[in-house]
Amino acid sequence: MNKIESLVRGNVRSLCPYSTARDEYQGSIGVFLDANESPYDNGVNRYPDPHQKQLKARLSQIKGVPAENIFLGNGSDEAIDLMYRIFCEPGKDNAVMIAPSYGMYSVAADINDIEVRMVPLAAEFALPKQALLDACDANTKLMFICSPNNPSGNAYELDEIIDIIKTFPGIVIVDEAYVDFSTKGSLRALVNEYENLVVLQTLSKAWGMAGLRLGMAFAQPYIIRLMSMVKYPYNICQATQDAVMRLLEEPVDEKVKEIVEQRESVASQLNVFSCVKKVYPSDANFLLVEFDDADAMYEHLLKDGIIVRNRNKVMGCKNCLRLTIGLPEENVKMINSISEYDCVIGK
Ligand SMILES: *Cc1c(COP(=O)(O)O)cnc(C)c1O
């Protein structure tokens, strides 16, 4: 058994996955009487491709990664949950993660009865490399690193993350949901070099398809095969596969560029307000901003019909709000509302 195989739960290693009749026969078929579907064509009467071959081929071109290194899930959240179900023995194993970070890592751990070990980020939200490694023991199967990190907004140097991948013997999951807004780059091209690396990306942010639910995981073929075995067979519905194929033909580079420009413009406008204590540097499509009184600012913005994310109660984010960058006119509304608070209410 190789190193990665030995990390896999015994029941998953010996799993015999569900297979469909169409899996077992690869020829040209004109009459489908195998799956108890309705024969009346309404566009969705047939089961979708459980392997999402067409979609993976297109994403393989766009991402420059072979299709055998790609898993597609119902959002990144499905891939996160699968990591626990494949590698972690409930009530025994644990996962190490940076804090503050994306909430789903610990929710999915709790659902699967996996111990969570949170390691606070260092000053200025730097990666606490040694503390992450120190938090591990023989039962640590997974380590989650989000870069650019939500909610802090900063991306880590690839070399720093690679050091951890080389040192930690378990699976390192690098969540790159916001990578399109960053100049630091992606680790996805290295999944065949590092057998314990899983990179998550999503169509929910830069690609503008949050409503379709499509998350990607990049990893070595063995891990991809495990994920495909454990997932629900038809996890990506036909409507999503069709809509994604269509929307992938519309490039988003210009929109991403505008959001990044808006991010820098909003950051510099916020910096002049006395109610703003700090605008953290961001490699994402949001800004983490420390206010004099985050709860009061949150209520003030709500009163103006603007909702942002209050992170005041999150570790290391006291008095911080997370502001998503919207359309230019939406950002103006937010700035005007903050300006009104700054001049009138805050004084
Ligand atoms: C938004 C986000 C995701 C995306 O989740 P989906 O389920 O793909 O919509 C993943 N990770 C982080 C850190 C996020 O902020």
Q: With a 6 A CB cut-off, is 235 part of the ligand 1 pocket?
A: no
* Contact yes or no for 317/151 (Cβ under 8 A): yes
Whether 60 shows a pLDDT value over 70: the answer reads yes
Q: How confident is the model at residue 19 (pLDDT cuts 50, 70, 90)?
A: confident
Q: Which residues contact 95 (CB under 8 A, 6 or more apart)?
A: 84, 88, 105, 109, 114, 115, 116, 117, 140, 141, 142, 143, 144
Nearest CA to ligand 1 atom 15: 150
Q: With a 6 A CB cut-off, is 346 part of the ligand 1 pocket?
A: no
CA distance 212 to 198: 22
Nearest CA to ligand 1 atom 5: 76
Question: Ligand 1 centroid vs 102 CA: distance in angstroms?
Answer: 8
Q: What percent of the chain has pLDDT over 90?
A: 93
DSSP string across 276-292: EEEE---SSSEEEEEES
Peptide bond just before 39 cis, omega within 30 deg: no
* Contact yes or no for 93/114 (Cβ under 8 A): yes
The count of C-alpha atoms lying within 13 angstroms of the C-alpha of 270, restricted to the half-sphere facing its C-beta, is 26
Question: Ligand 1 centroid vs 141 CA: distance in angstroms?
Answer: 21
Instruction: Write the burial class of residue 273 (CB in 10 Å: 0-12 exposed, 13-18 middle, 19+ buried).
Output: buried
As a whole number, mean pLDDT of residues 54-67 equals: 98
Please report the atom of ligand 1 found closest to the CA of residue 102: 13
Question: Ligand 1 centroid vs 200 CA: distance in angstroms?
Answer: 9
Q: How confident is the model at residue 23 (pLDDT cuts 50, 70, 90)?
A: confident
CA distance 83 to 223: 10
Whether 21 shows a pLDDT value over 80: the answer reads no
CA distance 71 to 313: 34
Question: Ligand 1 centroid vs 244 CA: distance in angstroms?
Answer: 17
Question: Ligand 1 centroid vs 343 CA: distance in angstroms?
Answer: 36
Nearest CA to ligand 1 atom 14: 177
Please report the atom of ligand 1 found closest to the CA of residue 74: 7
Question: Ligand 1 centroid vs 177 CA: distance in angstroms?
Answer: 6
Nearest CA to ligand 1 atom 7: 75
Higher pLDDT, 271 or 25: 271
Q: With a 6 A CB cut-off, is 175 part of the ligand 1 pocket?
A: yes
**pLDDT value of position 346:** 54
Question: Ligand 1 centroid vs 25 CA: distance in angstroms?
Answer: 36
Whether 347 shows a pLDDT value over 60: the answer reads no
Whether 1 shows a pLDDT value over 90: the answer reads no
Q: With a 6 A CB cut-off, is 102 part of the ligand 1 pocket?
A: yes
